[in-house]
Structure 1
Amino acid sequence: MHYQKQSISLQDQIQQLKARGLLIVDDSFAEHYLKNISYYRLAGYWWPMQVDKVNHVFKPNSRFEDVIALYNFDSELRILVFNAIERIEIGLRTRMINHLSHEADPWWFENSSIFKNPTHLLII
């Protein structure tokens, strides 16, 4: 497959966003985020700000700073959720290990007779 789109510089990306109606007050601020996060990753965050999703025209008063605020919120939320998932996982595994160690065998993880399908043993 041959793609027709050519890559454009960060300054050209900024100019393209401005031409489409995104308010960018500080070009160096925008350049920093475009360089470190990328145009296409940020595109998911400015998607709701577009009034015309075919031509990528932004709604009035759409600001690049708001795109970054959404991105940062999403990043912080992801950290909180993964932290909670980690605690749940560790708690569940600890309870399972304690239960199996006391009810089945201290070396339960090597005792294939307690598993329905010993060929798919979970390594903890």
Structure 2
Amino acid sequence: MVEYSRKATRIDEQLHILNARGLRTENNLENQQRLENIGYFKFKGYCLPFYEDSSNDVFIAESTFEDVYASYIVDQKLHRILYGLLSRIESQLKSIIGSKIALEYGPLSHYDEKIFRSSQYQADWLAALNVNENRAQERRELYVDHYKKVYEDKVPIWVALEMATLGTVSKLFSDIRPELQKEIAVEKYSVPYVYLASWLQFLTVVRNSCAHNNRTFGRKFSISPKIAKKVKNKCPELEYPTIFTVFYVISKVCKSRNFLISSIEETSSIFANTSNVDISKFGFPENWREQIDTLS
């Protein structure tokens, strides 16, 4: 067994370590409480953009505890805004896909191979459906038992989607037949289906990141959404999978325009009231609102 040599440190000792590495901070009760609420390991993640070099833990001159802490607070607020938008998009997506499949192929057609690209994709869907049914029953969702009795141990597509995660819905869209994908993407989102499939996969990663409270300040997501070259030429920041890119993708798929506008207003207010946070570390250009309005 490998022996871990480092010793645990108290909160005041942790602040002393940060100060010794060049972070300007007061070792007072308020900062100790802040660090204790966040956790030293998590706080260090927010310190990364403030280091002189990624290979060491030495801070850029004049970096302060307040700067790092403010970045953390803004990150938390953006997670909340994004989570709300993504939850709204998820509900809309489930309704759109469920209605399209049910009206054109029938409420139980998702048990049939004909709407899928292959038998393996259908098997993947049914396996995920079984897992979701078990979880819903563990949560005592009464509608599951009701529909399974009415439809002889099967549930209609709209119930299946209600139980599904955004990731499962994203995979379903990727796995259904191209003609069905095209109809949904063009009729409801006015984009080619390959773009919508890519965006849903990207938003799933973002939603999971927000749900697990992962740091998004000074960080890029693990996958990039498909964005037209001409759009990237107009806004080079969209080349990178940052929170700004998330807002662009959301602006393309969110059907609740008023909710989207209010979320953008709230984001703008957060930035305006937190002057010591560098929004470029979230991927935002200075004219980000103009860019979103122009490109949406």
Shorter-normalised TM-score: what interval?
A: 0.7 to 0.9
| Residue in 1 that maps onto 2:66 | 65
Q: Which amino acid aligns with 1:119?
A: A
The normalised TM-score by structure 1 is: 0.82
Question: What residue is the counterpart of 1:97 in the other structure?
Answer: 98
Tell me the CA shift for residue 108 of structure 1: 3.1
Q: Which has the higher helix share?
A: 2
1:14 and 1:27 in contact (8 A); partners too = no
- The correspondence of residues 104-119 of structure 1 with structure 2, limited to 5 A, is 104-109=105-110, 111-116=111-116, 117=119, 118-119=122-123
Shift of 1:15: 1.4
1:38 match: 39
* Distance in 2 (alpha carbons) for counterparts of 1:15 and 1:114: 64
**Identity percentage of aligned residues:** 27
Cα-Cα RMSD: 2.1
Give the conservation status (yes or no) of the 8 Å contact 2:15–2:27: no
Q: Number of aligned pairs?
A: 123
Q: Within 2, Cα distance between the matches of 1:94 and 1:58?
A: 49
Name the SS for the 1:58 alignment partner.
coil
TM-score of the pair, normalised by structure 2: 0.38
Q: Is the contact made by 1:11 and 1:31 (CA closer than 8 Å) also made in structure 2? A: yes
Match of 1:17 in 2: 18
Corresponding residue for residue 27 of structure 1: 28
Q: Which has the higher strand share?
A: 1
* Structure 1 residue 63: Cα displacement: 0.9
Query: Per-residue displacement from partner, 1:18-48 (whole Å, max 9, x unpaired)?
Result: 2222122362122112212111111121122
State the alpha-carbon separation in 2 of the partners of residues 74 and 113 from structure 1: 43
Gaps of 5+ in 1: none
Cα distance in 1 for partners of 2:78, 2:14 equals 28
